[in-house]
Amino acid sequence: MWQLLDQQIESRLFIGTALYPSPDIMCRSIKAAHSDVVTVSLRRQNPAAADGQDFWQLIRSLEVKVLPNTAGCQSVKEAVTTAQMARELFDTKWIKLEVIGDEYNLQPDPFGLLEATKELINQGFDVFPYCTDDLVLCEKLVEAGCQVLMPWGAPIGTGKGLMNPYALKTIRERFKHIVMVVDAGIGAPSHATEAMQMGYDAVLLNTAVAQSSDPVTMAGAFKLAVEAGRLGFEAGVMPERDLAQPSTPTLGKPFWHQN
């Protein structure tokens, strides 16, 4: 178990609810991932609508913590309004904040994100900002009151993994006291392991599971990858070396004479 703001969380794998072939496969995938936290887009599914009620009941049946998001919002006003609606409908002050600045690669708008973050924190939200791996932006978000940061590994849905490991390592090292979640761009279980070995607290993904040929099996693979990466971090991954070093030293090595 680990502490995520005011909640005790078991899994370090957060998973999305979009793009699955069917609601049944979505539920089975979330269960296979053993995720405690799932993200839900208010713009995609309105719990107040008829179809939204069915979707919301499915999520409730999973007994998970819901992290509503403002996916698709392109302005501060739109993101803040969506967050307010999400708090009322989902009965949570958690919000994954997205303010998209570029349609080409869905890159977050750093200026709008910071402005919306300040506004929502003033309104009592726990903001989980989806941001780039920019150190200065992360610093400003922390100064604004964020206790969680969600830097991308790569643009949403690309599956490219960790494009800039150096930047992600720097952010993790700089903000040791902040919960850090790699969000977006994760395409393979090995990407998740790499992020966890850096010391990130969790990873959030959706497309890599939902659009695989077997989402349920892939969800299980990511579960194991996240666990392996975290254990590797806690145990201490050996440093890389430029030269080979024998695992069995020659000094004191036993030898036998043949008669």
- pLDDT value for 250: 62
What is the residue-averaged pLDDT of the chain? Answer: 90
Residue found by looking up tokens 């490991």 in the block: 165
- pLDDT value for 169: 96
Is 192 in contact with 205 (CB distance < 8 Å)?
Answer: yes
CATH 3.40.190.10 is right for the domain spanning 12-235: no
* Span 77-87, average pLDDT: 94
Give pTM, 2 decimals.
Answer: 0.87
- pLDDT value for 112: 95
Express each pLDDT in 22-41 by its tens digit.
Answer: 999 999 999 999 999 999 98
Is 126 in contact with 159 (CB distance < 8 Å)?
Answer: no
The yes-or-no verdict on residue 44 having pLDDT over 70 is no
Q: Compute the distance between CA of residue 247 and CA of residue 259 in angstroms, rounded to an integer.
A: 29
Residue found by looking up tokens 């791996």 in the block: 133
Which sequence positions are flagged as catalytic? 96
Is 95 in contact with 87 (CB distance < 8 Å)?
Answer: yes
Kindly list the domain boundaries of the chain, sorted by start residue. 12-235
Contacts of 25 by beta carbon, 8 Å cutoff, 6+ apart: 215, 216
Residues annotated as binding site for 1-deoxy-D-xylulose 5-phosphate? Answer: 157, 184-185, 206-207
Express each pLDDT in 92-145 by its tens digit.
Answer: 999 999 999 887 778 899 999 999 999 999 999 999 999 999 999 999 999 999
* Span 84-92, average pLDDT: 90
